[in-house]
Chain A
Amino acid sequence: MAAKPTRARIRSYNVGFGDCFLLTFFYGEDDTRDILIDFGSTKDSPFGPAKGMLAIAEKIREDSGGKLDMVVATHRHRDHISGFGGDPGDVIASLKPELVLQPWTEDPELEPDARGRPDAAGGRGAPGLVARLANMQAVAQAIKDEVPNLKASPHVRKTVREQLEFLGDTNIANRDSVVNLMKMGKRAVYANFGTELDVAELLPGVGLEVLGPPTLEQSAEIADQREKDPDEFWQLAAASAAAATVAADKPTLLFPDAAVPAETATQEGRWVIPEIERMRSEEMLAIVRSLDSALNNTSLILLFEVGDTRLLFPGDAQIENWSYALFTAPNHEEIRKRLATAAFYKVGHHGSLNATPKTLWSGFKRANEEKTPDRLSTMVSTLAGKHGSEARGTEVPRKLLVTELEHRSNFQDTETLRSADEFWNDVEFEF
């Protein structure tokens, strides 16, 4: 084994709406170290392989030579981890990853009802947040379950209903994948900003820095007493969600004896009922959006480093997660300097409007229009038309951002892939 790799390849598989990247370091032609970063999808690409995720899992087996050195699950959204469950998950588990890396919020010892040390994670923060995330997923489940009922209502706008269905589905707990991830690695590490990872043997000559997510103590805004408020909000919302799930077919009425047919309503009542139905669906959407963001912000942000070549994988981290590394951390200026020299950027959150901080983007020194030899390479894994709306400026991928990526970097997008046999994009780096 050479002391350092001679080249690296990043392969992005067409999972549709989701992420799946295989980062391979070459130490001579047959000697590789393979890192799988996320494997999930909420919607297959119409142009992807016929067998879908299973075909991709098998291709990963082939590409990694039957052995994964590391698996990274940046956060627990379905579009990042669904492939770790079911048949595709069995394939990945059979590749016997040495190390499974997840964010600190996934640490099973943080489970609120876990026995043993309540501050198991070395005081990194409240099991409260973990409970909050679990509550959020319960809410997402209830919202997803409610969608068929909303379909029956003529007052709920189609776009709202579709977003609820999509976001609900993304945010529900992926028990199967979560359990499989917990078991599949020889070693499991739950990391936060600044966690020192011992990968010297696993990835000789490669530095790996964790830039996010911050812990509760690190993130200043969370130090405040106000942070108990969202815990409570989600706890109560989950309680309501649980009640709704139990009574999915026949909701429990508050006052069964006082129920009367809606037709008895006054004219004002008849006018206002559709308004309230519509508002309720929009409220649900606002809630599911907010929990979606919260989960995105538990994303790992990883910076790989070989010599002066830096490869950046930020998962779906949004501004709140990024802001610690970029603005608040004691060493944020140093971090920004290192980020500025990045040779590769995995576009955050499938190209959405709030996951590529402008401070980060404008800092990339290798991003340019001149197409210099060391120009920044970027990759996005996405599927247009699934998320957000162009009219509201929330479409994914965001057009403004894509235009910028196209003009100022060597940009590759899984969406342009059209082959069911060659369903990946590659970028290579020589060291």
Chain B
Amino acid sequence: MPVLAQDPSVRREDGTILTASVSVPWESLAAGPGGHRVQVIDYDATTHTMYKPAEVEDGDVPDPADDKEILGDPAFHARNVYALAMRTLNRFEYALGRRVSWGFPAHQLKLLPHAFEEMNSFYSREAQSVVLGYYQRGGEPVFMCLSHDIVVHETTHALLDGLRSGFMKPSSPDQAAFHEAFADVVALLSVFSLSDVLSKLISRDPHIPEQDGVIPRSAVTTERLKESALLGLADDMDGESGAARVNALRRSVDLDPDPKLMERDEYLEPHRRGEILVAATMRAFVDAWARRLDAPDAARTDFIEVRRVVEEGADVARTLLTMAIRGLDYTPPVHLEFGDFLSAMITADSEIRADDMKYGLRQGLLDWFAKYGIEPASGSADGLWEGSDFQLASEGVHFGSLQTDPVEMFRLVWANLEKLSLVPSAYTRIASLRPCVRTSPDDGLPLHETVAECLQYVKIRAAELGPYGLVKPEGMPDSTEIPLEGGSTLILDDYGRLKYEVHNRLPDPANKSDVDKAQARLQSLWEQGYFDEGASFAARLATIHRLRAGEALEPRAEVW
């Protein structure tokens, strides 16, 4: 299906809007388009108007006739968001080796390409929707549904919420930043995995002299690729997606490494903090790309074909995107920090793709994250989570149902509370249970895994924090109710044996580093007013997006 390569401001040399063709798995489509996973509903709440649902014929969908159709035909807009959302879903399912469900009790995500006249777009769990706004600029409407990166970004929020509902909860500054950062990483890598976009950005860079389809190898350095691809995209986007969004993306890719960034106050704000994760990941991307182009090969000359530069770039983008998505399965279910995500990506990837010689992405990620002050949470030099050094008692547990039945999984957990260092008195549940089959690129054989999220929850009063090693924040009344959450992600192999147990457990006074982290979270949530009477802290993505446009959060300590 034809989609916009980025947005209407990214154009070909002849001035026409750059489109790309993406493959979307076949399905029976109702008008909308409405498929079994996403449904486009073209309702505009500002004018209270419903627009005619778009029809999609079987087979290849023809390219739009001209830019007028791209900008002026709501049916094209509807197909554009459908195709981009489905492509994103498809990337997730490919990476995770299973169907991925949404974070709400329905099978179909609703997409509203012209939801209202406002410079905002967001995912809403309550409305089971991705809503995309439009706004006026110079008397012409600008459609956010025509921005590739925005559609993918919002769809990623929806997918991430389906995979880890806990990540929307108030916790550490890292977790608040993660949703935004991850959605940006997926959106950027999604755009860069389109050869058409890369080809255009590279060909246009005056510092990369092209002749007869080849360019000097010396011209494609990490720094050059950063300038031409990453910043080039931001330059093109100026004026279409709204400068606030472009500035945010530009800051993300232009942020110079500094291991002290994470400690600076201004980087405690979720969207700014997220920029660090995006910067580290995107730098690792261009670096791996440049190294790939510099790889020794038999017929090496001083020149390299542009087509190869572009294809290698798209390939690295796809591989890294797959790594980032796979990493999610190996993250703890609650209280995510950037270092957890790094270890998760590295471990998940090495399980399935033992050989990383081609791209060197694992080491690249470790190096670049370190440059931005993010160390792997595993604490080891290789960044890998430590494999489980114990096995679970499995008497009476049926392996067959362990992969699919949360009750069976709960039985296993219940029988092993002590081994898993879980708190017996806490409310415990299996939040998700997911069997997956991934194909190894090394040998083509399938890897079977079962991923279970086990959550523990207690609700106590501030006066009862002592047994958890925590201290009440100054000024907090004894009677304040405090929810504490902990959790473990259990990863089982083909035989139901425990491979990894990735946890952020309820704080245990014997474990100082866990307690310190929990104390910091408690303090920061208290300062943000999370425990205030009547406080509403629904981590609404709408608000976070608006904050990006320059609104500031108030320092809680000064407010009544």
User: Does A280 count as interface, using CB distance less than 8 angstroms?
Assistant: yes
Chain A binder among B242-250, B376-384, B457-465: B242-250
Q: How many contacts between A and B, using CB within 8 angstroms?
A: 187
User: Does B357 count as interface, using CB distance less than 8 angstroms?
Assistant: no
A228 to B246, CA, bound (A): 12
B127 / chain A contacts, CB cutoff of 8 Å: 272, 275-276, 279
Q: Say yes or no: B135 contacts A279, CB within 8 Å.
A: no
Most buried by B among A277, A287, A356, A393: A393
Q: Say yes or no: A226 contacts B550, CB within 8 Å.
A: yes
CB distance from A353 to the nearest CB of B (A): 4
Where chain A touches its partner, the secondary structure class is helix
A242 to B136, CA, bound (A): 10
Contact with B along A355-379 (1 / 0, CB 8 A): 0111100000000000000000000
CB distance from A322 to the nearest CB of B (A): 8
User: Which residue of chain B is the closest to A389 with respect to CB atoms?
Assistant: B534
A333 to B109, CA, bound (A): 54
User: Does B504 count as interface, using CB distance less than 8 angstroms?
Assistant: no
User: Does A269 count as interface, using CB distance less than 8 angstroms?
Assistant: yes
A240 / chain B contacts, CB cutoff of 8 Å: 117-118, 135-136
Q: Which of A288-335 contact B (CB under 8 A)?
A: 290, 318-320, 322-323
User: Does B435 count as interface, using CB distance less than 8 angstroms?
Assistant: no
User: Does A237 count as interface, using CB distance less than 8 angstroms?
Assistant: yes
A277 to B42, CA, bound (A): 13
A153 to B134, CA, bound (A): 21
User: Does B39 count as interface, using CB distance less than 8 angstroms?
Assistant: yes
Most buried by A among B41, B53, B542: B41
User: Does B533 count as interface, using CB distance less than 8 angstroms?
Assistant: yes
Q: Say yes or no: B129 contacts A275, CB within 8 Å.
A: yes
User: Does A286 count as interface, using CB distance less than 8 angstroms?
Assistant: yes
Q: Say yes or no: A268 contacts B534, CB within 8 Å.
A: no
Q: Say yes or no: B112 contacts A272, CB within 8 Å.
A: yes
**Contact A236 B559, CB 8 Å, known A229-B244, A280-B46, A390-B534:** no
User: Does A283 count as interface, using CB distance less than 8 angstroms?
Assistant: yes
A353 / chain B contacts, CB cutoff of 8 Å: 559-560
A164 to B559, CA, bound (A): 23
User: Which residue of chain B is the closest to A224 with respect to CB atoms?
Assistant: B266
**Contact A277 B45, CB 8 Å, known A225-B247, A232-B244, A268-B34:** yes
Q: Which of B81-125 contact A (CB under 8 A)?
A: 108, 110, 112, 114-120, 124
Q: Say yes or no: A233 contacts B534, CB within 8 Å.
A: no
Q: Say yes or no: A283 contacts B32, CB within 8 Å.
A: no
Q: Say yes or no: A260 contacts B51, CB within 8 Å.
A: yes
Q: Say yes or no: B50 contacts A261, CB within 8 Å.
A: yes
| Contact partner, A259, options B49, B131, B552, Cβ 8 Å | B49
User: Does A2 count as interface, using CB distance less than 8 angstroms?
Assistant: no
A320 / chain B contacts, CB cutoff of 8 Å: 552, 554
Q: Say yes or no: B560 contacts A272, CB within 8 Å.
A: no
User: Does B551 count as interface, using CB distance less than 8 angstroms?
Assistant: yes
Most buried by B among A242, A283, A318, A398: A283
**Contact A229 B560, CB 8 Å, known A237-B119, A253-B47, A255-B72:** no
Q: List 9 A-B contacts (CB under 8 A).
A: A230-B551, A253-B44, A254-B47, A258-B42, A259-B51, A265-B43, A276-B116, A280-B45, A393-B534
Lowest 4 A-B CB distances belong to which pairs? Answer: A230-B550, A275-B127, A229-B244, A393-B534
Can you add 11 more A-B contacts, CB < 8 Å, to A268-B39, A394-B534?
A: A233-B550, A252-B47, A254-B114, A254-B141, A260-B52, A262-B50, A266-B34, A268-B108, A275-B128, A287-B118, A389-B534
Q: Which residues of B contact A (CB under 8 A)?
A: 30, 32, 34, 39, 41-53, 72-75, 108, 110, 112, 114-120, 124, 126-129, 131, 134-137, 141, 242-244, 247, 532-536, 542-543, 546, 548-552, 554-555, 557-560
